[in-house]
Amino acid sequence: MAATQDEPTNSRRAELLRIAAGLFAEKGFKNTTVRDIADASGIQSGSLYHHFDSKESMVDEILSSFQEELFGSYDEILTSTDDARAKLERAVRVSFEAIDRHRHEVAIFQNEADYLGGFDRFAYLAERNAQSRAVWITLLDDGVRSGVLRSDLDIELTYRFIRDTVWVAVRWYRPGGSLTHSHVADQYLTILLDGIAHA
Amino acid sequence: MAATQDEPTNSRRAELLRIAAGLFAEKGFKNTTVRDIADASGIQSGSLYHHFDSKESMVDEILSSFQEELFGSYDEILTSTDDARAKLERAVRVSFEAIDRHRHEVAIFQNEADYLGGFDRFAYLAERNAQSRAVWITLLDDGVRSGVLRSDLDIELTYRFIRDTVWVAVRWYRPGGSLTHSHVADQYLTILLDGIAHA
DNA sequence: GTCTATAGCCTGATAGAC
DNA sequence: GTCTATCAGGCTATAGAC
């Protein structure tokens, strides 16, 4: 996992990571060259290595700091005193919010986790995946137990459907467009909880 | 779009495409080298060029022939005399069946369509995307009009949720595993139509 | 902190022998 | 139809000047 630095001379570094994240999200990690990143930053490729060890270090820092923030939000929900349905709704809303605020990071994780996960350095991605599964399964189990959710659900499949549908929205959601993240979350929760069939 | 050849001396070509499709699906198109494909086929990389013009031609042939088959199935559903709900269910089932029978092709389309779509040669991918949207929007509109589906749905968002959730299953579905494609389709249709909340 | 220059490797594709 | 050998270009990363 990447080291988190303090803030003094940090702004240039952060700016470069922001630019790299946009390119990684748009074109893919392997498909983005250090020259692409340098061009977009207005410097030469060699100069990037004054700031970062390697291209891998860049994506590592992008992903690990994002994950830290996201799982902080999940933990807050799990330890709250809300009922099962409210927790589930909050988890969905927090996820769409993350897409709104960190779409590059989400896209990179969605597209590259499988590939990067093959390297020792990125083993934490698989751990985060397991942690995320644990969060959703807990929420769903609580929902069924408390009678908020139908008891005939295949919990594992339901988890996969929710996870996939929520995160894959990063492919088309654009912050600042005509759709707000909360409208998308509203519509999604309506469909998820009550279905699309006429009652 | 790639030329479709007749069947006489075709089996070696088809075998090589099958191997390439597996690698493209697993590691990504850009990330799979012609040497990878050659190694997996037990030949040298130079020999591949006796069968194919380029790596691009290989993925072109893989994708275009798959799309042809898939859209044939959609057309059958659209022109059938089923009612709106049955058509929607059939479209979902046909899609999960496609994941079962052609998961490499589906995975490649899901992962690479954005990147490949940038080349003239792959412009048909965007057309197929628009065609697919037209199919689903038609089915949903018919559903609302005939009273089978709720009238307060945001049709465009509903379409995206269905499309995404169905196709993204290719990331975890494995043919021959403990889950059958029809079980997955059943569970998915239950959630989609009636929701996960206790009635 | 950025530049120029380049090492060392991997890539897609070609040419000609068998 | 497959092999060997190779070209030309692109890649990450490094070294040293400024």
| Of the partner residues B148, B161, B195, the one whose CB lies closest to the CB of residue A193 | B195
pLDDT band at A168 (very low <50, low <70, confident <90, very high): very high
Distance from CA of B189 to the nearest CA of A (A): 9
Question: Residue B132's pLDDT is what?
Answer: 97
Please report, for chain B, the start and end positions of each structural domain, with discontinuous segments joined by +. Answer: 54-194
| Of the partner residues A148, A154, A169, the one whose CB lies closest to the CB of residue B187 | A154
Signed CA dihedral, A173, A176, A179, A184: sign only: positive
What are the contacts of A38-42 at 24+ separation with CB within 8 A? Answer: A41/A15, A41/A16
| Residues of chain B positioned with their CB less than 8 A from the CB of A184 | 157
- pLDDT surpasses 70 at A5: no
Nucleotides of C under 7 A from a protein CB: 1-6, 10-16
Q: How far is CA A159 from the centre of its chain?
A: 16
A48-59: average pLDDT: 98
CA A51 to C1' D18, in angstroms, rounded, equals 18
State the Cα–Cα distance between residues B192 and A196, nearest whole angstrom.
Answer: 6
Distance from CA of B166 to the nearest CA of A (A): 9
Burial A25-45 (b: 16+ CB within 10 A, else e): bebbbeebebebbbeebeeee
| Of the partner residues B30, B153, B196, the one whose CB lies closest to the CB of residue A153 | B196
Token pair of B25 as six digits? 């699906």
**What letter represents residue B55's amino acid?**
K
Question: Residue B3's pLDDT is what?
Answer: 53
Question: Residue B4's pLDDT is what?
Answer: 54
| Residues of chain B positioned with their CB less than 8 A from the CB of A165 | 161, 164-165, 168
Is A108's Cβ below 8 Å from some Cβ in B? no
Residue A197's DSSP bridge partners are B149
Please list the ranges in chain B whose pLDDT falls under 70: 1-9
Token pair of B155 as six digits? 């049709």
Question: Residue B168's pLDDT is what?
Answer: 94
| Residues of chain A positioned with their CB less than 8 A from the CB of B189 | none
Question: Residue A199's pLDDT is what?
Answer: 80
Question: Residue A87's pLDDT is what?
Answer: 98
- pLDDT surpasses 60 at A7: no
- pLDDT surpasses 80 at A101: yes
The reply to whether the predicted model has a pTM over 0.75 is: yes
Superfamily name and number for A54-194: Tetracycline Repressor, domain 2 (1.10.357.10)
Mark which residues 29-88 of A lie under 8 Å from B by CB: 30-31, 85
Write out the H or E segment, with its range, that includes residue A174: none
Token pair of B98 as six digits? 């496609």
State the Cα–Cα distance between residues B149 and B16, nearest whole angstrom.
Answer: 45
| Residues of chain A positioned with their CB less than 8 A from the CB of B115 | 27-28, 31
* Nearest by Cα to B62 from B70, B35, A135: B70
Question: Residue A117's pLDDT is what?
Answer: 93
A21-31: average pLDDT: 97
Is B188's Cβ below 8 Å from some Cβ in A? yes
State the Cα–Cα distance between residues B113 and A167, nearest whole angstrom.
Answer: 18
- pLDDT surpasses 80 at A169: yes
Kindly state the percentage of chain A with pLDDT values over 70: 95
